[in-house]
Amino acid sequence: MGERMEYSRSSSLVSLPILAVCLVLAALAAFAGQGTLAAILLFLSALGGTARLWATASAKGITLQLLTRPKGLFPGESMTLTCEVQNNKWLPVVWPELFFPLEKNLCLVPEATRAPDEWEIVHLKEQNASIEQVGETNLPMLLWYRKVRFTTRWTARRRGVYSTACWRVRTGDGLGLALVERAIPKEQVHQLVVYPRLVPVSPSLFLNNHWNADTGSRGMMEDPTIIRSTRDYMTTDPVRQINWRLAARAQPLAINVYEQILPRSVHFILDGNSFFEQDEALEETLSILASECVRLHQAQVRCGLSLAEGTSGPAVNLFAAESPFVLLRALAAYQPAAPVWNEENSRHIAPPPVFARRPILAAAQHTGRFYYICHHTDALQHQTLPLQLGTANLTLLTWQECAPYGGFATVCLDKLREGGTHAE
């Protein structure tokens, strides 16, 4: 386990200042001839010191291992985590327990939760964790060199990334005077990802743009101008693919097998800062975006993603990802930049998005089309990235229904849902 120990919810008697005071007062009482008082103070200091040493020794030599390989979840799904706690010393651990602080948005919660105690809320605020719910698992006594295996079931509620770095092992002395918390070691820390919720969407807007582009800029499809080989005709084959030249020579019907064109990617650029104070709209946008990435991958069109710098980390560029889950993981972790104070208006406003521009502009020559996503076109007033990419390479996707901006094709995000109509 981690070396750092925290003596939370412990009796004041086991604190070092109180132990020192008791010893000093015992010495003064003995010097003043107050033998009974000196004996009481010595007993209290011995009791507190013994409890502290016992709790510290109990917390040492405990290892926690997560045996389940974490997997990504979608909201509403559940997973069972199997953990193993081992006592690697001769001293028994009387009352071990695991404490699970949770993310503020409660993206992932265990089956058994409770409201935190008042003394825990202070520490939870320091960790920027939820003060509404916490998880806890009580374990049986661990004798010397014994281990216990247990399972805990977790349910995904909403998009986010949950790290087990916040897990704590709690134990203490048999007298209940000291409680010691220890974090799990870094090598045992895992991240549990809850992807954005998937919704029914239509990829036709992006596929049409591919098919209408120049040769070589389409999604994965067959090129009818290049015949790679032929094969025997089957009744389910379309008539247009029959090789009529061979049929004219009285040979058995054969089907043309065309050369496949490798895809150029669709690349999404998300300005999450423009969704300032529109959290629900941002979550819906991320769901639509994640769903389109999955649908386009199924259509063999690779997707890329650029995220602006935010509270979740620096700007991200992912070009032509081989798996949509790479993009879904980035969307799960994404949080827009924190608002800034505007002195002129005396209120908080959204900061301008900060992208890693050079890689985006360098990728323009081998990307089929860019799609810039924002809440409304007003957020583009001071943005130069769309202008640098140009109207021929970029389409705007907005949450609000907006008129075309600066010659760019503009599509409302809600129209990407299954059955929606798309702007041309």
Q: What is the pLDDT of residues 50-59, one digit of tens each?
A: 878 877 878 7
Residue 90: per-residue pLDDT: 86
Tell me the helix, strand and coil percentages in the chain, rounded to 5: 30, 30, 40
Residue 213: per-residue pLDDT: 45
Q: For the residues of 50-88, what is the DSSP string, one character each? A: HHHHHHHHHHTTEEEEE-SPP--B-TT-EEEEEEEEEE-
Question: Roughly how many angstroms between the first and final C-alpha of the chain, as a whole number?
Answer: 59
**Mind listing the pLDDT tens digit for each residue in 286-326?**
999 999 999 998 888 889 999 999 888 899 999 888 889 99
Gyration radius of the chain's alpha carbons: 31
Residue 57: per-residue pLDDT: 79
Higher pLDDT, 165 or 14: 165
| Token duo for residue 268 | 């999404």
**Mind listing the pLDDT tens digit for each residue in 74-124?**
999 999 999 888 888 888 888 888 889 999 889 999 988 899 888 888 888
Q: Where are the alpha helices (DSSP H) in 334-396?
A: 357-362, 385-389
SS3 of residue 299 by DSSP: coil
For the beta carbon of residue 107, count every other beta carbon within 10 angstroms: 21
Residue 216 — pLDDT band, cuts 50, 70, 90?
very low
CA dihedral over 396, 397, 399, 404, signed as positive or negative: positive
**DSSP element (H, E) containing 384:** none
- Among 97, 109, 103, 86, residue whose Cα is nearest residue 181: 97
- Among 199, 161, 167, residue whose Cα is nearest residue 182: 167
pTM score of the predicted model: 0.76
339 DSSP assignment? P
CB 15 within 8 A of CB 49: no
For the beta carbon of residue 208, count every other beta carbon within 10 angstroms: 12
Residue 218: per-residue pLDDT: 39
| Token duo for residue 233 | 């005709």
Residue 19: per-residue pLDDT: 81
Which of 126-130, 176-180, 351-355 is the least confident region? 176-180
Q: Which amino acid, residue 337?
A: A
C-alpha dist (Å) from residue 106 to 49, 97, 286: 39, 21, 18
| Token duo for residue 217 | 């800029």
Which of 210-214, 333-337, 340-344, 411-415 is the least confident region? 210-214
Any bridge partners for residue 166, and if so which?
A: none
| Token duo for residue 134 | 């916490």
For the beta carbon of residue 358, count every other beta carbon within 10 angstroms: 9
Helices and strands: H and E segment counts in the chain: 9, 22
Q: For the residues of 248-261, what is the DSSP string, one character each? A: HTTPPPEEEEEEEE
| Token duo for residue 232 | 């025997």
CA 57 from centroid of its chain's CA atoms: 36
